[in-house]
Chains A and B, each alone.
Chain A
Amino acid sequence: MKTKLNYRLFFVAIFILFVRFFSFAAEKWSVREVRAAGPEEEKFFSRPVDLEIDKERVFILDSQESTIAVFSFEGKRLYNIGKYGRGPGEFIHPADMSLGEEEIAVLDSEDFKVLLFSTAGSYKDGFRVGFRGHRLLRLSKDKFMISRLPRQKENNTFLLYCFDRQGKWQFQAEKVSSTESGAYDYFLFQHWLVKLEEKAVLLKPFGSELAIFLDENGRRTKTLKPTPDYPTLWFKPPLSRVKNIQGLFWSAALSGDNFYFILPGKMEDGDLGPSNRVAVVNFDGQLRGVITFPLTISKLAVLKNRIFVIDEAAQLRLFDLFKSD
């Protein structure tokens, strides 16, 4: 009787483990390239620094060409937004952009300003920020978050600054102190900003914090750490006094209920850079799947099953996502 009960318990335990394993295991997803409309040569860029999408268009910020190239979802080049200069609607060195409802904000890190355009391309407005911004996030029509990396040996400063549409300072968040090394600061403070319901999420490619959710005043509400099944890359940076660092992603995007992290990998020259794999993580930090591309990608934007990527040759390419059998 006792042996029979033990057998039953054993099988129940095995069944529970089986169900847990298959319900939590990350799925393997793959993609199929979609042939884009329009001439191939129009899809190459000099220095694409950001890729974003709305419901019908793809926007690519090219910092070298000082313009935003706009494409249809089929990959046809439609028009450009902005040009080089110091006048209204012109920028010297666009470092980042952020897309909102019918409006696109561009951060000029050389002229210390934010420019606002309609998504159709006309210049609307702008404001000065008084420092060299690193990343920009348009939280709402009247709320813009700009990040600033600390200067060497700068203590107790802030990473994030929020402004209204007139350029009036609202609040600052994420206190930081720099080290003596710019390279070490890079591994400490490098980040991406994405928007979730008019609030900012700070994504960190290095360290133990993958995503930091902030409230409307920039205070931390939740921190996601990589789960044990997240494909982390540990490496020793070329810095004395610095031990191993946890490399989490190359670049990232948010779409629907998931973050999409381009995973780091070994490049041809032995350096660590982007790979052909993307980790899909939900807002609870659970790894939902890993997408494998046929080529290395450096930037991506996702809308349902359509994925827009910039490849290693700085070319825009389109893919459809499907789950493998």
Chain B
Amino acid sequence: MRQVIGVALLVLLAVGLLVLPLVVAAQSNSDHCYDEWERCRARAFESDAGWFKTALMLTICDIALGKCLLKAA
């Protein structure tokens, strides 16, 4: 019984060690996506384009964010 628990814990530890870096990488990738999205949004605001064009640029930023998050997942 002890052996089974030991093996199970080892398996869990191995899986954890394997999965954790992937989770961290995915997290940092999604952070990168949001960072890029904020940068895109800031550029749209300061472009001094009209309200419709600004709204369009912001929509493009949203689409780019969606694509980036899909890639990161």
Contact = CB atoms under 8 A, between A and B. Distances in A.
Nearest to B34: A151
Main secondary structure of the interface of B (DSSP, over half): helix
Given A109-B42, A182-B41, A183-B56, A237 B62 contact: no
Interface in A195-248: 235, 237-239, 247
A273 B47 CA distance: 12
A182 B51 contact: no
Contact of B50 (A132, A149, A181, A272): A272
A152 B46 contact: no
A170 to B, nearest CB: 23
B50 A183 contact: no
Interface residues of B, number: 22
Interface residues of A, number: 32
A194 interface: no
Contact of B46 (A63, A149, A181, A190): A63
Interface in A163-203: 181-183, 185-187, 190
Nearest to B42: A109
A239 B55 CA distance: 8
Contacts of B65: 152, 182
Interface string A98-111: 00000000000110
B43 to A, nearest CB: 9
B35 to A, nearest CB: 8
A113 to B, nearest CB: 15
Given A132-B42, A149-B41, A238 B52 contact: yes
A182 B58 contact: yes
A298 interface: yes
A178 to B, nearest CB: 11
A271 interface: yes
Given A93-B42, A109-B42, A132-B38, A182 B59 contact: yes
A264 interface: yes
A93 B42 CA distance: 10
Given A49-B46, A63-B46, A181-B62, A186 B54 contact: yes
B55 A183 contact: yes
A264 B46 contact: no
Nearest to B62: A182
B49 A181 contact: no
B51 A264 contact: yes
Contacts of B55: 183, 186-187, 237-239
Contacts of A235: 51
